[in-house]
Amino acid sequence: MWFLEILGKKRDGESLSEAEIRYFVDGYTTGRIPDYQASAFLMAVYLNGLSPDETTWLTEAMLYSGSVVDLSRIPGIKVDKHSTGGVGDKTSLIVAPICAALKVPVPMISGRGLGHTGGTLDKLEAIPGFNVNLDLDRYCELISRTGLCLIGQTAEIAPADKKLYALRDVTGTVANRSLIAASIMSKKMAEGIDGLVLDVKTGRGAFMVQQSDAEELAELMIAIGHRMNKRVSALITDMNQPLGTHVGNALEVIEAVMILKGNRQALRMDLVELCKTLAAHMVRLGDRADSLDHALELVHRSIDNGSAFEKLKEIVREQGGDEKSLDDFSRLPVAAKSHLVVALKSGVIHSLDALDIGLGSVILGAGRQTLDSIIDPAVGIVLKRKIGDRVEAGETLMEIWYNDDSRLVEALPCFERAVSIQATIVPAPGVIIKTLGDT
Ligand code: URA
């Protein structure tokens, strides 16, 4: 086959065959198709879309670009959770240890930050020494012994996604339903799971801004999962404002630990509610509870009795991280300087734009602007107020933690324009909009 012909077909809005899609995935993964042609192809897909069949073929080609882990020898129903990408979304760091503490094995292969959104791997690497690059033998061994392993894609697991994910991040081709579905489902189907809980975000800071698009994405991923005989649930959740209060890698580790320690003051209910609900769905899919209410009760118990936090410490230790940093945050990377953004007038916060805050955090160094950008794990934002809160003029809205003055200057307009204060009252928005799939 001639790749330019395939590229031209997609550019002109035509459908591709399974063989043509496989040709692209194999060619790019093995290096036969260069980045510039793959970028053009991704943009053609972004603009013209893929049909459900094309999306399934893309997912399968990406899945079989590497090996599929067999965890059938490990007892229990293995369940993972994956989010479509958000700002301040540290739920994986919280729900994975909760479920493992409740004896639901969690094989978790995560991604890095994408566009303006954060990534679990970058957050984990903010913990000094934490190694996300374990081989598959160690991955299986840890799941079998501790019930949990948190790694990035290896050369063996969906290598096509690893390369395409990085390329999409820097070519403006992330926010496409088919590309997101294939990316998520290829690596999730490869990791050896029996069940999957999806957190599909919608709103200003999500890749699917419209709720209807988020629902279609969820349905697409549920169908792909069912086709591969997996149990799949999906929550459609709000991403108009950042989740919780902390945005930035080390800062999000801190907030995750506060939740696992049951430290209720300073915590925002959106994050707590979402984590508990996601974990409860995982416990349900893992057949460890008779109902969602029962699962929620178990989730609460795992936080109250400290077993979820102990599980996080255990996995941090096992993966080479400094477990003491989870009790002593001064051992985590800390930014040298901080700047306060204050309210310019009194009133009620109507919006706290997650996209602007995510973009600002990338400019500070919490995410990547090019393929070889280096993450600064210390920088980020701590929100002091959220939508629905009343504020007085001059009151602090957010703390910006930074290391580089020029980056702060560039990022500040993002933070300032993110906030809208009006005279009228608005309620704090609910975080969980809808539940789809298996329950
Ligand atoms: N998460 C992924 O793993 N892939 C995407 O494309 C978006 C979010």
> Do 373 and 232 sit in the same domain of this protein?
no
Residue 238 bridge partners (DSSP): 202
Q: Measure CA of the first residue to CA of the last residue in the chain; give whole Å.
A: 44
Ligand 1 neighbour 242 (Cβ under 6 A): no
Domain-embedded: residue 396? yes
> Do 34 and 146 sit in the same domain of this protein?
no
Does position 169 have pLDDT exceeding 90, yes or no? no
- Per-residue burial over 200-212, b = 16 or more CB atoms within 10 Å of its CB, e = otherwise: bbbbbbbbbbebe
> Do 202 and 298 sit in the same domain of this protein?
yes
Residue 187 CA: nearest ligand 1 atom is: 3
By most ligand atoms within 8 Å of CB, the mutation choice from 89, 108, 114 for ligand 1 is 114
- Per-residue burial over 70-99, b = 16 or more CB atoms within 10 Å of its CB, e = otherwise: ebeebebebbbbbbbbbbbbbbbbbbbbbb
Run of H or E including 238: strand 231-238
- pLDDT at residue 206, as a whole number: 96
Task: Report yes or no: 197 and 234 within 8 Å, Cβ to Cβ.
Answer: yes
pLDDT in tens, 102-158: 999 999 999 888 889 989 999 999 999 999 999 999 999 999 999 999 999 888 899
Rg of the chain over all Cα atoms, to the nearest angstrom: 21
pLDDT in tens, 215-262: 999 999 999 999 999 999 999 999 999 999 999 999 999 999 999 998
Q: If DSSP codes are grouped into helix, strand and coil, which group holds residue 211?
A: helix
pLDDT in tens, 297-343: 999 999 999 999 999 999 999 999 999 999 999 999 999 999 999 99
232 C-alpha to ligand 1 centroid (Å): 17
Task: Report yes or no: 242 and 205 within 8 Å, Cβ to Cβ.
Answer: yes
Does position 352 have pLDDT exceeding 90, yes or no? yes
Domain-embedded: residue 62? no
pTM: 0.94
Angle CA(41)–CA(45)–CA(47) in degrees, nearest 5? 115
> Do 273 and 243 sit in the same domain of this protein?
yes
Q: Which of 5, 69, 3 is nearest to 30 (CA)?
A: 3
The length of the chain is 439
Ligand 1 neighbour 221 (Cβ under 6 A): no
> Do 307 and 356 sit in the same domain of this protein?
no
> Do 208 and 292 sit in the same domain of this protein?
yes
Domain at 216, CATH number = 3.40.1030.10
Ligand 1 neighbour 97 (Cβ under 6 A): no
Ligand 1 neighbour 200 (Cβ under 6 A): no
The protein residue with its alpha carbon nearest to ligand 1, atom 3, reads 184
Among 303, 329, 355, the domain boundary falls at 329
85 C-alpha to ligand 1 centroid (Å): 6
Q: Which of 25, 94, 119, 37 is nearest to 64 (CA)?
A: 25
> Do 277 and 221 sit in the same domain of this protein?
yes
- pLDDT at residue 267, as a whole number: 67
111 C-alpha to ligand 1 centroid (Å): 7
Q: What is the dihedral angle through the alpha carbons of 72, 30, 85, 172, rounded to the nearest 10 degrees?
A: -170
Spatial distance between the Cα atoms of 260 and 309, rounded to a whole number of angstroms: 5
pLDDT in tens, 78-90: 999 999 999 999 9
Domain-embedded: residue 429? no
Contacts 24+ apart (CB under 8 A), 436-439: 436/215, 436/218, 436/219, 436/222, 436/233, 436/234, 436/235, 436/236, 437/198, 437/218, 437/222, 437/232, 437/233, 437/234, 438/195, 438/231, 438/232, 438/233, 438/285, 439/233, 439/281, 439/284, 439/292
377 C-alpha to ligand 1 centroid (Å): 21
- Catalytic positions: 82, 161, 168, 183, 187
Among 273, 300, 329, the domain boundary falls at 329
> Do 42 and 147 sit in the same domain of this protein?
no
Domain-embedded: residue 67? no
> Do 198 and 306 sit in the same domain of this protein?
yes
Domain at 28, CATH number = 1.20.970.10
Ligand 1 neighbour 153 (Cβ under 6 A): no
Which residue has tokens 């957010």?
Answer: 398
> Do 206 and 251 sit in the same domain of this protein?
yes
214 C-alpha to ligand 1 centroid (Å): 13
Domain-embedded: residue 312? yes
393 C-alpha to ligand 1 centroid (Å): 39
Task: Report yes or no: 281 and 434 within 8 Å, Cβ to Cβ.
Answer: no
By most ligand atoms within 8 Å of CB, the mutation choice from 55, 165, 176, 224 for ligand 1 is 165
Ligand 1 neighbour 59 (Cβ under 6 A): no
Domain-embedded: residue 195? yes
Spatial distance between the Cα atoms of 217 and 17, rounded to a whole number of angstroms: 22
Quick one: average pLDDT of 266-292? 93
318 C-alpha to ligand 1 centroid (Å): 26
DSSP conformational letter for 237: E
- pLDDT at residue 417, as a whole number: 97
The protein residue with its alpha carbon nearest to ligand 1, atom 1, reads 84
Q: How many domains does the chain have?
A: 3
Residue 119 CA: nearest ligand 1 atom is: 1
112 C-alpha to ligand 1 centroid (Å): 9
* DSSP assignments along 293-362, one per residue: HHHHHHHHHHHHTSHHHHHHHHHHHHTT--GGGGT-GGGS---SEEEEEE-SS-EEEEEE-HHHHHHHHH
- pLDDT at residue 95, as a whole number: 98
> Do 134 and 252 sit in the same domain of this protein?
yes
Domain-embedded: residue 56? no
Domain-embedded: residue 72? no
Sheet containing 231-238: give its strands across: 79-83, 195-202, 231-238, 432-437
Residue 84 CA: nearest ligand 1 atom is: 8
Q: Which of 418, 426, 360, 356 is nearest to 388 (CA)?
A: 426
By most ligand atoms within 8 Å of CB, the mutation choice from 174, 176, 185, 208 for ligand 1 is 174
Residue 168 CA: nearest ligand 1 atom is: 6
Dihedral sign (CA 280, 435, 214, 248)? negative
Dihedral sign (CA 425, 431, 432, 434)? positive
Average pLDDT across the chain, whole number: 96
Domain at 366, CATH number = 3.90.1170.30
Does position 266 have pLDDT exceeding 70, yes or no? no
Quick one: average pLDDT of 15-33? 97
> Do 12 and 100 sit in the same domain of this protein?
no
| Tokens encoding 94 | 């919280």
Ligand 1 neighbour 151 (Cβ under 6 A): no
Q: Which of 329, 338, 351, 410 is nearest to 381 (CA)?
A: 338
- Give the domain range for residue 360: 333-422
Ligand 1 neighbour 118 (Cβ under 6 A): no
Among 296, 329, 362, the domain boundary falls at 329
